Amino acid sequence: GTPLRDLAAAKGVYMGTALMQNELTGTSGSIAAAQFDSVTPGNEMKWESVEPTRGTYNWGPADQIVAFAQAHDMQVRGHNLVWHSQLPNWLTSGSFSNGDLHAIMIKHVTDEVTHFKGEVVHWDVVNEPFNEDGTFRSDLWYNQLGSSYIADALTAAHAADPGAKLYINDYNIEGQNAKSNAMYNLVKSLKAQGVPIDGVGFQAHFILGQVPSDFKANLQRFADLGVDVAVTELDVRMQLPSDATKLQQQAADYTTVMNDCLGVSRCKGVTVWGFTDATSWVPSTFPGQGAATPYDENYQPKPAYTAIQTAL
């Protein structure tokens, strides 16, 4: 069949995958390059990866992924700049004044975006800022800097690479609920203040059979604010072991997500959070669950793969 990336391009969207440094060669590298035209580094651009020691940058693994993407004519989605998780110890265990923490954040955003200037098409600038009830997550950023850290991070990223598309990314905002309402209000207010915000990323870490029925309508309401939208970390997890019935339901779920994005003109693309069950984050994060991606552990396409292909 026609590779997903070619079908996506013909529809004016991208089809992406998360990829880790150890997946660039062999079967995984071949499939990634053949099927996908956007790459999100799974971990290699996170703060703990790029600055494990204060002031000492380790760009190597991320640079390798960027070089792989360039060699195969793929876009890079940078992930991520400001998040509560996967922070280096020096940052989480240090105690910094609010002013110092603000300067640390701005320097990190500026240095990382500058390093990848012209190489990253979309940046997840702020990741997971909200709690489920729509209040701001009480992480070090919000607790010490207040909600203005979001506008400040976006402004710094824009200054460092005016050409990059800047996103806020979160999970459980796919349907209309308290959390997505909070994101909606945040984006509306950022736009009103002239803060550089280009898009909202919907992670889309779904449970089998539980894609919200209002996903498309929710994407559209964000688009109507004047921002792009994207599905940034799609997977559909199930209780293991998988069976034919579950894999068919999973295919239906992937079809729904693809059609929801394709039905919204400002939806720029879909990224799966790993294309193979062999390396998916799901089994280690959700014990007993897995089989969440379009390829099985032996790198064979599943019904979900065919579903994506057919939707495109």
Nearer to ligand XIL, 198 or 233 (CB): 233
Evaluate whether 253 touches 206 at the Cβ level (below 8 Å).
yes
Rounded Cα–Cα distance for residues 171 and 188 (Å): 18
Work out whether 42 is an interface residue with ligand XIL (CB under 6 A).
yes
Q: How far is the CB of 259 from ligand XIL (least distance, A)?
A: 23
- Contact, 167 vs 124, CB < 8 A? yes
Encoded one letter per residue, x for contact with ligand XIL by CB under 6 A and - for no contact, window 142-171 reads ------------------------------
Query: Do residues 183 and 212 lie in contact, with contact meaning Cβ atoms separated by under 8 Å?
Result: no
Angle at 262 between CA 257 and CA 266, to 5 degrees: 115
Q: Which of 44, 128, 174, 297 is catalytic?
A: 128
For 166, phi and psi rounded to 5 degrees? -105, 125
The residues in 121-140 that bind ligand XIL, with binding defined as CB under 6 A, are 127
Rounded to the nearest whole angstrom, what is the least distance from the CB of residue 295 to ligand XIL in the complex?
A: 16
Q: Considering CB under 6 A, how many residues would be counted as binding ligand XIL?
A: 6
- How many angstroms separate the CA atoms of 163 and 236, rounded? 33
Window 268-287: contact mask with ligand XIL (x via CB under 6 A): -------------x------
290 binds ligand XIL (CB under 6 A): no
Residue 43 engages ligand XIL in binding (rule: CB under 6 A): yes
The type of residue at 146 is: G
How many distinct helices (H) and strands (E) make up the chain?
13, 10
Q: Which of residues 61-120 bind ligand XIL (CB under 6 A)?
A: none
3-state DSSP call for residue 238? strand
Cβ closer to ligand XIL: 167 or 254?
167
In the three-class reduction of DSSP (H, G, I as helix; E, B as strand; rest coil), residue 295 is classed as strand
Candidate list 44, 51, 112, 233, residue with the active-site label: 233
Kindly tell me which of 279 and 309 has the beta carbon lying closer to ligand XIL: 279
Q: Which is nearer to ligand XIL, 197 or 272 (CB)?
A: 272
Q: Which bin fits 299, alpha (ψ -120 to 50), beta or left (φ > 0)?
A: left
CA gap 17, 212 in Å, rounded: 22
Q: Is residue 172 close enough to count as binding ligand XIL by CB under 6 A? A: no
Q: Known catalytic residue: 51?
A: no
**In the complex, least distance from residue 277 CB atom to ligand XIL, rounded to whole angstroms:** 13
Residue 132 falls in the annotated catalytic set: no
Q: What is the H or E stretch that residue 122 is in?
A: strand 122-127
Map residues 223-252 to x or -, x wherever contact with ligand XIL holds by CB under 6 A.
Answer: ----------x-------------------
Q: Which residue, 149 or 281, is less far from ligand XIL as judged by CB? A: 281
Output the CA–CA distances (angstroms, integers) from residue 181 to 142, 243, 270, in the order listed: 18, 36, 22
Residue 100 corresponds to which tokens in the numbers above? 């110092």
Residues forming the active site: 128, 233
Binding residues for ligand XIL, rule: CB under 6 A, are 42-43, 127, 203, 233, 281
